[in-house]
Amino acid sequence: MTTQDLSAVQGQENVWQMAQRQLDEVGMLIGLNESLHGFLRQPKRVLEVSVPARMDDGSFRMFTGYRVQHNLSRGPGKGGIRFHPDVTLDEVKALAMWMTWKCALVNIPFGGAKGGVICNPKEMSLQELENLTRRFTTEISIIIGPEKDIPAPDVYTTPQIMAWIMDTFSMQHGYSIPGVVTGKPVSIGGSAGRDKATARGCMYVVDEAMEAHGRTIEGATVAIQGFGNAGMYAAQLMAEQGYKIVAVSDSHGGVANEHGIDVKRLIAHKFETGSVVGFTGGERTDNKEVLEFECDVLVPAALEKVITAENAPRIRAKIVAEAANGPTMPDADDILFDRGIMVLPDILANAGGVTVSYFEWVQDLQANFWEEDEINDQLKRKMTRAFRETYEQAKRHGVSMRKGAYCVAVARVAEATKLRGLYP
Condensed to tens digits (0 to 9), the pLDDT of residues 379-421 reads 999 999 999 999 999 999 999 999 999 999 999 999 999 999 9
Q: Answer whether CATH 3.40.50.10860 is correct for domain 43-176.
A: yes
Three-state secondary-structure class, residue 315: coil
pLDDT of residue 325: 83
pLDDT of residue 12: 55
CA count, 13 A, side-chain hemisphere, 359: 28
Neighbours of 9 (CB within 10 A): 10
pTM over 0.95: no
Q: Nearest to residue 353, comparing CAs of 163, 95, 130?
A: 95
**Roughly what angle, to the nearest 10 degrees, separates helices 197-212 and 372-397?**
40
Told to judge if 418 belongs to the known catalytic residues of this protein, a careful annotator would answer no
CA angle 158, 160, 166 (to 5 degrees): 110
CA count, 13 A, side-chain hemisphere, 22: 31
Domain chopping of the chain, boundaries:
43-176, 197-349
Rounded to an integer, the average pLDDT of 173-192 is: 97
Domains 43-176 and 197-349 share a fold: yes
Three-state secondary-structure class, residue 82: strand
At 32, phi and psi to the nearest 5?
A: -65, 130
Q: Lowest-pLDDT range, 161-165, 302-306, 383-387?
A: 302-306
Strands 77-84 and 45-54: unpaired
At 116, phi and psi to the nearest 5?
A: -165, 155
Q: Nearest to residue 247, comparing CAs of 288, 213, 209?
A: 288
Q: pLDDT per residue over 199-213, tens digit each? A: 999 999 999 999 999
Neighbours of 328 (CB within 10 A): 26
Q: Kindly indicate the confidence band of residue 9, based on its pLDDT and cuts at 50, 70 and 90.
A: very low
The distance of Cα 129 from the centroid of its chain, to the nearest Å, equals 22
CB 54 within 8 A of CB 131: yes
Tell the CATH topology of 197-349. Answer: Rossmann fold (3.40.50)
pLDDT at 73 over 90: yes
Of 44, 93, 114, 318, which is the active-site residue? 114
**Roughly what angle, to the nearest 10 degrees, separates helices 89-105 and 15-30?**
40
